[in-house]
Structure 1
Amino acid sequence: MRPIVRRTAAAAAALVLLAACGPGDAGGGTKLTIATFGEFGYAPLLAEYHKLHPEITVQNRVTDFDTHHKGLATQLATGRGAADVVAIEEQYIPRYRKAKDKFADLAAYGARDLEHQWAPWKWAQGTDGAFVLGLGTDMGSLALCYRRDLFQAAGLPADRDEVAKLMPDWDAYAATAERFTSRTPEVKFADSAGTVYTAMLNQSPENYFSAADDSFIGDRNPSVRNAFFLSGGIAAKGQTAAATTFTQAWNVAIKQGTFATVACPAWMLSQIKEAGGDANRGKWDVTTVPGKSGNQGGSFLAVPKQSEHPKEAYELARWLTAPEQQKKLFLSDGILPSEPSVYTDPQVVAHTDPYFGDAPIGRIFAASADRLRPNYRGLRDADVRPEFGRALGRIEDRTEGVDQAWADAVRQAQAVLK
């Protein structure tokens, strides 16, 4: 999942429409729409695309995450209203692979010739073996963002390499949370239990559903249970700020320095900068996440079958996801490429971020990306996952203990599936 950053959705859509249209476009040529959630950084790219293809006019519809995906479901069900190119976040990909009759098979336009561009696990997410549903955009390989000044105040190592050694895994992370809280009780160690839980889950090959037959295993998968009890245990000890990502409370907590760590995919750095402002420049740093890897977020561009211009839509999606464009998006917006030739590019690897103390974010995120392995999500992941998140929230607000919250999460997940 990626938040809207830097400008509002309405403003972004207007900017892209103006950038993509040239003089005299209103009367002729091919008109395409592309629908994204949050800010994908496409405005300058679409302006460039129009210069290369003056006969093509592109409008970018930008809405928030939930509005976008709910709207897409309705558009596909009714057979009208979908954009020519649509972004689909990774958690919805398994569901739409099962509804492939609603989409153009991109293999028919030559997509299979591009397979080598992507990390194997990323390509595999967008296809069922023969049918190609979508072309990969970014990915969200994980790092750990932390406050150097707060670590120093707690008497902990603050150098990014030393912090990585301090917390090589999540048990060590929990132990460090104990040390940190005992020395600086007025500051929380993590933003929320949900962020820790999600990062741990994303390092597991299976979560709530079996990769073999898609059966529900969330009640007995040790990876799910371990992640829930470790993150819930941190919350029960009052070591989280109960600030959920993408909320105003989280933005305020960033600005005020309420918590010291957050597991951060590459796209989150822009959100931290925006929330923290100039006053927090240089206070944050980036290091290796406990467990060394994991992925949170990332999307695909697909072409609904109802498009009147499927070939032109495919060509647009192909161009936007090409290595040259993925590199531009990382260097300008920090959107991490899902293509090895890009995230191992010397210019990308050498990229640093002055806001985060000149942290070598290119090297850190590239190393995390190289360690990524497939993470099976299941067709009903988007239905089940929120129940466990809500249960962790009840631990944070002290309405349930960890054991009861776990039992209720499992029960409610099973009820949702019936």
Structure 2
Amino acid sequence: MRKLTRRPAVAVLTTALLLLVTACSGGSAAEGGKIKLTVATFGEFGYAPLFAQYEKDHPNIEIQSRVTDFDTHFKTLATQLAAGHGAADIVAIEEQQIPKYLGVKDKFVNLADYGADQLQNQWAAWKWAQGTKDGDVLGLGTDMGSLAMCYRRDLFQQAGLPTDRKAVAALMPTWDAYARLSQRFTDKLPKVKFADSAGTVYTAMLNQSPENYFSSRDDSYIADKNPAVRNAFMLAGTLAQKGQTAGATTYTQAWNVAIKQGTFATIACPAWMLTQIKEAGGDGNTGKWDVTTVPGASGNQGGSFLSIPKQSEHPKEAYDLTKWLTAPEQEKKIFLSDGILPSEPNVYKDPQVVAHTEPYFSGAPIGQIYATSADTLRPNYRGLHDADVRPEFGRALGRIEDGSEKVDAAWTDAVKLGREAIK
């Protein structure tokens, strides 16, 4: 769950194009001789009550929280790293951004110096590997984004389709089946869209592939050669061209309105998205949504790490807080209170977590659904320039949705613009 816009970044580390953002430096001494630690996140991570508890247990520590939207967070961090000052003591790094920050890991504290490497088995093996390079530990994992499918029970019923979550899952075991179901739905309810946007369908499909735009072997651009990219684009683009997507870009005001008004019936949803759907839908939509398994294999959409810039004046204290925030006890509390799925198997398999249900989503057993999804998750290789290339394909799908471009032409343009974005 990220209350302040969680979406792909358009730029990080390209400091020549960034405006200098002024920020207080982290790690300063607070009043009364206390050590002040700043924690910068993109959106709410559910940390407020944990910060209060930590300060209570550590009277010498004062924690200052900096919460901004996704793009502001990473643009600011890029500027601070380039300037050599201003960064928080602890910064959140989203999983799509990790490859780039591993490339400048010399600007961050190697958490292995404080014993983080001894905690390796705390996380899923793939999650731990994401945040490390050449034995250095860039960050400790927070959440992850294993996928499920959120759907409107009332709209399915109006379309004459089953509403039971197991029956719905049986209707769409694959994305091709999902597309066929979309047509069935549209034939019955032509004024209601089946998916929120082509981009959401495309991203979910792409996240289930071992590779996306770049080769895991040598990081070369393979968007035009990888069948997974083309297949995802063509399926999502065809849904858009048929008018079966609402064209509501995730987390925008239009998306919020579409959820509240019941404009679309399905959306591939990681656990952290449930709170955003609930907040956008309001009390009037309680019980109208449900959650089932996602078509295809499980994929990952989102998830973060906590890292410590070398600028911090108190790296040891910052590490202690980072270690505590990502410990199983705290990760469990965050899931039960905010629905943010931990990336630690012992936590997401915890009986209390597995038994967790969500009343707003028709009592869906979200703990069980997301734990199962997490356990079968296989992450994909992002590539160093994923954040530069990915938006080009999203914009191409948007052009299909607004009618300015057909699927084939949009695909050709996306491949070309993606290659140019690397340069």
Asked if TM exceeds 0.5, the reply is yes
Q: Which residue is 1:335 aligned to?
A: 340
CA distance in 2: counterparts of 1:113 and 1:93, whole angstroms: 21
Q: Please state if 1:273 is matched with 2:278.
A: yes
Q: 1:84 aligns with which of 89, 96, 100?
A: 89
Q: Is the 8 A contact 1:236 1:401 kept in 2?
A: yes
Q: Secondary structure at the match of 2:155?
A: helix
Q: Which residue is 2:2 aligned to?
A: 2
Q: 1:116 aligns with which of 118, 121, 124?
A: 121
Q: Is the 8 A contact 2:192 2:263 kept in 1?
A: yes
Q: Which residue is 1:286 aligned to?
A: 291
CA distance in 1: counterparts of 2:378 and 2:274, whole angstroms: 23
CA distance in 1: counterparts of 2:181 and 2:164, whole angstroms: 15
- In angstroms, what is the RMSD of aligned CA positions? 1.1
Q: Secondary structure at the match of 2:97?
A: helix
Q: Please state if 1:321 is matched with 2:326.
A: yes
Q: 1:363 aligns with which of 364, 368, 373?
A: 368
Q: Is the 8 A contact 2:288 2:361 kept in 1?
A: yes
**Offset from partner CA, 1:118-176 (integer Å, 9 cap, x none):** 00010000001400000000001100000001001101111000001110010000000
CA distance in 2: counterparts of 1:259 and 1:148, whole angstroms: 11
1:30 positional shift: 1.0
Q: 1:233 aligns with which of 233, 238, 242?
A: 238
Q: Secondary structure at the match of 2:137?
A: coil
Q: 2:218 aligns with which of 213, 219, 236?
A: 213
Aligned residue identity for 2:219: D
CA distance in 1: counterparts of 2:221 and 2:57, whole angstroms: 48
1:26 positional shift: 2.0
Q: Please state if 1:409 is matched with 2:414.
A: yes
**Offset from partner CA, 1:191-226 (integer Å, 9 cap, x none):** 000000000000001000011111100111000000
Q: Please state if 1:144 is matched with 2:149.
A: yes
Q: Secondary structure at the match of 2:136?
A: coil
Q: 2:47 aligns with which of 42, 48, 70?
A: 42
Q: Is the 8 A contact 2:89 2:318 kept in 1?
A: yes
Aligned residue identity for 2:244: Q
**Matching of residues 196-207 of structure 1 within 5 Å:** 196-207=201-212
Q: Which residue is 1:191 aligned to?
A: 196
Aligned residue identity for 2:346: S
1:397 positional shift: 0.3
Aligned residue identity for 1:381: D
Residues paired across the two proteins, number: 400
Among all aligned residue pairs of Structure 1 and Structure 2, give the percentage whose two residues are the same amino acid: 75
Change (3 A) 1:262 1:403: same
CA distance in 1: counterparts of 2:291 and 2:297, whole angstroms: 13
1:3 positional shift: 3.8
**Offset from partner CA, 1:316-359 (integer Å, 9 cap, x none):** 11100000000000000000000000000000000000000100
**Offset from partner CA, 1:223-260 (integer Å, 9 cap, x none):** 00000000000000000000010100000000000000
Aligned residue identity for 2:267: V
CA distance in 2: counterparts of 1:416 and 1:171, whole angstroms: 30
CA distance in 1: counterparts of 2:220 and 2:30, whole angstroms: 51
TM-score (norm 2): 0.93
1:25 positional shift: 6.0
**Offset from partner CA, 1:371-399 (integer Å, 9 cap, x none):** 11121000000000000000000000000
Q: Which residue is 1:163 aligned to?
A: 168
Aligned residue identity for 1:122: K
CA distance in 2: counterparts of 1:164 and 1:302, whole angstroms: 38
- Give ranges in structure 1 of 5+ residues lacking alignment: 6-23
CA distance in 2: counterparts of 1:350 and 1:129, whole angstroms: 39
Q: Which residue is 2:391 aligned to?
A: 386
Q: Is the 8 A contact 2:300 2:379 kept in 1?
A: no
CA distance in 1: counterparts of 2:4 and 2:368, whole angstroms: 25
1:291 positional shift: 1.0
Q: Is the 8 A contact 1:30 1:57 kept in 2?
A: yes
Runs of 4+ in 1 over 4 A off after TM superposition: none
1:416 positional shift: 1.4
- Give ranges in structure 2 of 5+ residues lacking alignment: 6-28
**Matching of residues 49-68 of structure 1 within 5 Å:** 49-68=54-73
TM-score (norm 1): 0.94
1:27 positional shift: 2.1
Q: Which residue is 2:247 aligned to?
A: 242
